Structure 1
Amino acid sequence: MRRLLACTALFAAGDAAAEVSAPVARTIFGSSEVVTFSVLIGVISAAMISAIWLIRQRGNIEAENRQLRSDLSDANQRISRFQALIADKSRRIVIWDGLAERPEFLGQLPVETGAPQGDRDFLAFGRWIKPQSASQLERAIEMLRAHAQSFDLVLETQRNEVLEAQGRVSGGRAFVRFIALNNLRAELAELKLERDRLHTSLSTFRTLLDAIDLPVWQRSPDGKLEWVNEAYAEAVEARNPAAAAAEGRELLATTAREKIRAVSTFDTPFRDKVSTVVRGNRTFFDVVDARGPAGSAGMAIDISGIEAVREELARTLKSHAETLDHLATPVAIFDGNQRLQFYNQAFQRLWDLDMGFLERKPDNGELLDRLRAGAKLPEQLNWKQWKANALSVYQALDTQSDLWHLPNGQTLRVFATARPQGGATWVFENLTEKVDLETRYNTLVQVQGETIDHLAEGVAVFGPDGRIRLSNPAFRALWGISEAEAKPGTHIRAVEQACLPSYDQPDGWKRFAHIITSFDDERPSSRGILELRTGLILDYAVIPLPNAQTMLTFVNITDSVRVERALTEKNEALRKADALKNDFVHHVSYELRSPLTNIIGFADLLKTPAFGELNARQAEYVDHIATSSSLLLTIVNDILDLATVDAGIVQLDLTEVKLLDLLDDVAQQMAERLVESGVTLRIDAPDNLGRIVADQQRLKQVFIKLLTNAANFSPDGSAIGLTCGRDGSDFVFSVTDIGPGIPQDVLNTVFNRFESHGQRGGAGLGLSIVESFVSLHHGTVSIRSKEGEGTEVSCRIPSADMPKIIAAE
């Protein structure tokens, strides 16, 4: 700068000197020198002008520099403020500039969140964020960078801390801000996470419930269906679960739902077996329904198969008991408490024990003590030890066996086996006869031939070479051959030739010869029937014997076959008779009832004054005619009803019956009859007895028959009771009287037809008709009676399904 100023002063002094000395110069120098000097003066002037311009530009630059330094200071101050704001250890920002750029990190998260401090480790979200949150974050970041989709997420770290992640795009850059939440925001985020978890759990459980084949439902507090699963929708035949809930299709009957609503509480859920109809089939469900503040939820477990298996098991156990009872081998079964639960007749005969003692179900140890006291068990040196060893079967895993040599000379092999459900089974195999048979075996072998000779069954034994070893006279007589033709050593071909006059079919002796002379390892037995030319019908059997021998047996079944054919013909005749009986019921019922109805009608007409007055004897005779005709009409109606039931042509007229109206009708119809018998009727029925789908006329007949029967056996001045009630959808009622009762020896025959007991028993058809009509309704009848205390007849009638046409209406 100083140089530039000195040059400028020098250039100014030169200009002044030039102006003073110009005339002198022109005088001193020539023209060429003047030109040169002028050029020099111009160059110096241009240099001075350039210097002045440069000085001015330098001043402008310095001013701009001062302004830039001021702006830079302001920017640094703002950056410091921003860095101080980001340096708050509650948030961290990750910035991506484009898809391929490395991210930039700003700020840190608190240490307690578990977030790594290093940049590389921070992006490994799966290491410090829970897997579900990490996967959501990675998908959101990918969509943010690729498609500029913003997001707001609540994350949960491995240390159960809650973070908020916000993703945004600005100026071509992707920003993700991680904020450590606290106070109300943290609680709100945790509630959101909890809501998401609950929603996920609910969705998972509903998916699981849709996958199972058990109907499940959820109701609102007012009992309306809110949600059902696929199995429920299928059970009620709905399009889908949503349609089933929207249409309010119920799986359980109204009575069952009311019972659930009445029984279920917040602390005690409803648990019971409920019967309903699914796809037209009666189905049993084990229903569990739990109530909560927001409504209730229930599940129905189909136990129809279990019920069927339980019934089948009961039948099987009963069948096994009956089978064991007919076995000759003594068997006794004890339960887990070592008490006798079953014994067969052979057991009782073996030990000759008192039936009363056995029916008392004694303890196994008590039973052994009783047998020892009766000198029926082997004598033991140490009775307690022997008894303990015998009873150890209840803790044993394998079957225990022992030989008992009884004082009466019998030898028993005793098998004791622990039962899977507890208890033990004792089997007493009597070896006395086996030992005796072994001792007599040689004797039996010697008399074998003699025994076979006296058999009525034809027997022939052949060796593997096809030659006969022995035959008895019955064999030769059946086939009409001589003893020489069937002597030992004769080949089966020769025997076949000798038997040709009696039987020459190719499937006869040729097949016997093939079986006898076959070299097969397994020789099957064979049975069949042959009809000879002589008229005999033989039942034959080919039985393989040891040592490759074969026995042929022939039994004359001519008489039994003839009897069988006769029985077949008789059965056909009975079938035709049964058809004739059905035709009789169809066509003759009117002809049987019509004359009796006319007699009753004319007898009633004779009683009217319009046909003249009757004297006392005539009136008495007319009353007898009317009474006897009515009784005969009742008997005929009963017989025809039973005949129609037996013929299978009875069809129930199912309607919806109001039970209280039915009881009033029965009471009015029985009033006169009860007055004649001198008894009163006491009806005990609740007001909410409701309705039942049944045949009203048949149900009324059941009541009339039971009340009439009770009135017949009740003493004068007494009362008969009619008690009615409901058990679920079933209608249950009973009729009681205080008559003489029914003896126990005839109690099992009261439902038989024409079984009359007592002086006023009638034709004995009343209870039989009751049982038939109740059975037509798929109900049950039971009777309980004791001599001198009266009789009680109880009926249970389930509600039937309304016919489809009526139900549609």
Structure 2
Amino acid sequence: MNRVAMRRGIVTRMARFGHPQGQTAAKAGSRPVLAPAAAVGGGVSLLTLGVLAVPSMAQPAPGVAEGFSLAGWLARAPNYGSDLATAVPFAVIGGLTLFAAATALFHLRERRRAKLREDALAVEVAQLQLRCDRAEVIFAAERRVVISFGRKDDDPVIEGDVSIVGDGAAPRRILAFGSWLTAASAQALETALGHLKRNGAAFHLVLRAASGLYFEAEGSAISGQAVLRLREITAERLELVRAHDALITTRGDLEGLQALLDALPQPIWLRAGDGELLWVNAAYGRAVDAADARDALERRLELLDEPTRTASQDARAGGGAYKARIAAVAAGQRRTLDVVEAPTGAGSAGIATDVSELEAMRLDLQRQMQAHIRTLDQLPTAVASFDGTERLVFYNRAYRELWQLDAELLDSRPKDGEILDHLRAARRLPEQADFRVWKNEILAGYKSLEANEHWWYLPDGRTLRVIGNPAPKGGVTYLFDDVTERVQMESRYNALVRARGETLDSLREGVVVFAADGSLTLFNPAFATIWNLEPSLLAGHPHIDEIVALCGHLSEDADWSELRAAVTGLHDTRTSHSQRIKRPDGTVVDCVTAPLPDGSTLITFTDVTAAVDVERVLIERNDALEKTSRLRDDFVHHVSYELRSPLTTIIGFTQLLGDETVGALNARQREYTSHITKSSAALLAIINDILDLATIDNGSIELDLGPVDARETIAAAVRGLEDRLVERSIQLEIEVAPSIGVFIADAKRVRQVLFNLLSNAVGFSAAGQTVKVAAYRQDDEILFSVADEGPGIPPEIKAHVFDRFESYAIGSRHRGVGLGLSIVRSFVELHGGHVELESGTGRGTRVVCHFPAAGGLARVAAE
């Protein structure tokens, strides 16, 4: 029974695995079961035959002619009844004997057949056992697991080495694919196994475990069951799988790289060893006017011309990369390309970068530099630049002419110290007690980060203002400004002031000027005589309240109260005021106040006692008043003439010299003439602007509207401050938006606004700081912005900076009467705009003026 059970188990196992011999053996093993049934059937047949043959057993031996039959026997029997009773037992016994004999014969025959069948099955079982053992050895030679899925409610049968999923792992863990496979592999296996169970679809997958191992999964349907075979991939096949994964990864990387290269704007290409194009990107196709990259390859369109390709091939043949800047036609235009083509094993790879704009910018920069050099060469100011090694790298014609140096010497790039030694030997430098110390001080500018300024008084009487600006990359740029003429003009101006003083001293009318704060700034002897005041007391600049107290005994308080209000009062419009003071001693004094453009107040006192005594009548008084008024007007015009007439004369003679009608001028004289013209014109413009402020208070000002160019207006305002900018070493940055265009305004008033703002910004800026001027369009407004890097305005002062006569130093040396920003606001508001102020302590100040571009000005003009 053990052998049969073992055989049946082996046959079942082989049949389960689909082995053909196992299926044959299973079919053959069912034959012995049919043997007992056949034997029983034969016995029954023999028994029936024996019963039928009983009567014949009483007959003689075989060979009797009648035969062995019951009918014949009955026919011959003489005594039927008695013989039948006697013959039945014999018949039964004979039948049983025959049945036993037949059964024995059949049993022997079947036993012999069974023995032969059993021997054959034993041999077959031995062969199957050998095959089973061989299959188990082969199955155990690899780490594999076989999982059989039966009916839906049956548990899967797991056979094999489950340790492939991990040492010590439970058999059921292998069914949790997500616990030992990667997410992608687990998902793929679950999907394929589901199709196998539902549809019987076989599959073959290569799976990757979370541990990095690879497994081969095969699924198939066998005998109505879903069978899953898992085995670890090793040796060469593992390498093949890894190479396949690496190939997929590399292919993805290559596709990503190709997509990136297609997105680049630079044409890129790959060539074979014979120079044939293998691959190009989309930019290459666009550059050669092809439909796409494939079209460029099919048509073999070349971006580079034949000489360039030949030169590249020669360079690569030598083992190096080809690099060159060439001119080529790309996308139907003439472009400049930077081409780099490098060898890549059996071929080459190349890229072309469009540098047309860069080349155009370089050429434009080069042209601008040449223009800058030409401009510097035309400047009257001497300019010389030295590099970090203190050697001369640039000089203009004014520098060569200033020091009378040979061009051959300057072109040899001498050092700064060598030029100083040469000039000292020629006695063209200022005389110094210790030339070595002085020279070291000059050369110390190469180590300084800030600009330095020196004043050189040359032996020939000239005065030079020397500014040394350190260069960002090392070195120093010197500016030699000949200020001899300016010093002379200052001397002339001082003489003019003294002449004005002499004029006032000679007047019989008492003249006095009070500043905006009420302090006395100017008086003549006639004023002291009229009011019996000591000149020494007036020289101490007393306040108007002190003057009122000293003169109170000579007049009534009401008389001086009006004068005090005219000097210290805050009025929307400052106008002239006149009154007559009758003193107790009988003296009659006509007093006239006149506001000055700088915020001061001019008061004239005229003793009209004699006129009053002589002419008592009304007509005579009216004549006296008219005369007094004419005297006042004459005085104002006289003062205006004294301020403007000398400047007009200077400008006229300067223009006469500039026209060279009196003789030809050399370059230096023309330079001086140009300086005089610019400075005088700027000063005259300032005086005219100051005098025009009085008309603002009177309300009689009229705007001369017309198209205004923002850039030209800023330049005009800056020209009046060039000397102050240079003198204080303040940098000026101007930024004008290209799209600003022109706007409708009074160009002169806009220039005055910018001049006042720049003057304040320069005044509150320290040396080396930067003042920024910007103009741009915002919606329907034109904005002018002036910003400085000064100390800024504290919040408590910010609310009063636009008030008149409010002046604050805020830690700087700038002084003023407090009308600059007030005038700015007045002019801007006359145009229909407004002013914004942005400032804070330590953050500088920024003033923005909003001018209507058209609509607001049209409204103002209509009003």
TM over 0.5: no
TM range (shorter): 0.3 to 0.5
TM-score by length of 2: 0.40
Larger Rg: 2
